[in-house]
């Protein structure tokens, strides 16, 4: 057995150990807004329910391990003490992951991840329209846990209003966990789907993914590609060049002859994405 004391580990090592050991962790997809009215959307797995009366949720935007910087979410709740906490079902996992990309201040992660801003009833931050449960909250307190790399900041939220899709509610008004189909966080790049167990979702690029908002409208509005498909497509640093696309089709002439309609192209791109072939999917879509 390996036995360690925290001071014997580097901070990255300790974080990797703890985040793998304390798993699965629920995910809060947190919407905030700054004093200028700019929205932000980011997921946090340092999150849970801590009280029912009053209804209290706590999430923690920790200081970044690598450089001790703090996140836009923390800055926003310091300016506007309100949040919306959205849950994350499997059908949104790729878009949620894409929204964790460290885009510059002022970039709208709703647009980058391809989800819809829905006006809240009691707070200023927007809800994620596609999330099956959305909780509007006021921030009661922000409690810093330290000033060094990796230190958390507990954002203590009181739930003011809950919005629930009818499609995940049973006849007795209880929530159907299987229909809700939530995902949770493991260590590294691992997530857990309640129905099926562990699955691996590559982390967003350290360099910025183009985002769903940068895609051609015909792709964004596809009736064949899912939100998860768009999340994967948006997590590329740049689109394939016209030369790369031309070379792909030169090498795949028989496939080109098969794909004669936008529908067939989108279906083939979806197949490529299912196999993890993102470059090939983009080449088909950009033909």
Q: Could you write out the DSSP letters of every residue in 115-141?
A: --EE--SSSSSPEETT-SEEEEEEEEE
pLDDT digits (tens, 9 = 90+) for 157-186: 999 999 999 999 999 999 999 999 999 999
Cα 86 from Cα 89, distance rounded (Å): 10
**Residue 195: per-residue pLDDT:** 80
Given a contact cutoff of 8 angstroms between Cβ atoms, the answer to whether 58 and 47 are in contact is yes
CA 208 vs CA 24, 72, 101, 241: distances in Å: 27, 16, 7, 18
Find out whether the peptide bond into 89 is cis, omega within 30 degrees of 0. no
- In this predicted structure, the answer to whether residue 205 has a pLDDT above a threshold of 90 is no
207-235: average pLDDT: 92
For residue range 116-145, list pLDDT tens digits in order. 999 999 999 999 999 999 999 999 999 999
Q: Supply the pLDDT for residue 256.
A: 81
CATH number for domain 6-200, candidates 3.30.2130.10, 2.30.110.10, 1.10.10.10, 3.30.360.10: 2.30.110.10
Query: Residues 68-84: what's their mean pLDDT?
Result: 94
What's the confidence (pLDDT) of residue 206? 65
pTM for the full model?
0.87
Burial class (CB in 10 A: 0-12, 13-18, 19+), 103: buried
Whole-number pLDDT of residue 200:
79
User: Is residue 234 within a helix (H) or strand (E), and if so which, with residue range?
Assistant: helix 227-234
Q: Which whole-number Å values give the CA distances from 87 to 84, 135, 180, 281, in the listed order?
A: 10, 9, 9, 29
82 and 125 in contact (C-beta within 8 Å)?
yes
Domain boundaries, the chain: 6-200, 212-285
Give the per-residue pLDDT at 20: 92
């Amino acid at each position: 057995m390996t036995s360690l004391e925290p001071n014997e580990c580097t901070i990255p090592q300790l974080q990797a150990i703890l985040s793998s050991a304390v798993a699965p962790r629920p995910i809060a997809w947190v919407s905030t807004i700054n004093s200028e009215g700019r929205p932000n959307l980011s997921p946090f797995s340092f999150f849970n329910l801590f009280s029912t009366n009053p209804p209290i949720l706590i999430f923690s935007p920790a200081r970044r391990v690598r450089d001790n910087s703090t996140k836009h979410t923390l800055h926003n709740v310091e300016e506007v003490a309100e949040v919306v906490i959205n849950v994350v079902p499997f059908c949104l996992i790729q878009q949620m992951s894409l929204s964790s990309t460290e885009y510059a201040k002022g970039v709208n992660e709703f647009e980058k991840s391809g989800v819809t801003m829905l006006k809240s009833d009691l707070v200023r931050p927007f809800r994620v329209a596609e999330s099956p449960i959305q909780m509007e909250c006021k921030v009661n307190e922000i409690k810093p846990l330290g000033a060094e790399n990796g230190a958390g900041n507990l954002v203590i939220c009181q739930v003011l209003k809950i919005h629930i899709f009818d499609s995940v509610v049973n006849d007795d008004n209880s929530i159907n966990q299987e229909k809700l189909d939530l995902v949770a966080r493991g260590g590294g790049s691992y997530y857990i789907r309640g129905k099926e167990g562990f699955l691996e979702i590559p982390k967003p690029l350290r360099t910025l993914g183009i985002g769903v908002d940068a895609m051609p409208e015909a792709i964004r509005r596809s009736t064949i590609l899912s939100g998860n498909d768009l999340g994967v497509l948006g997590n590329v640093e740049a689109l394939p060049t016209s030369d790369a696309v031309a070379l792909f089709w030169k090498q795949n002439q028989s496939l080109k002859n098969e794909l004669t309609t936008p529908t067939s192209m989108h279906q083939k791109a979806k197949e490529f994405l299912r196999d993890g072939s993102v470059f090939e999917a983009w080449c088909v879509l950009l033909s």
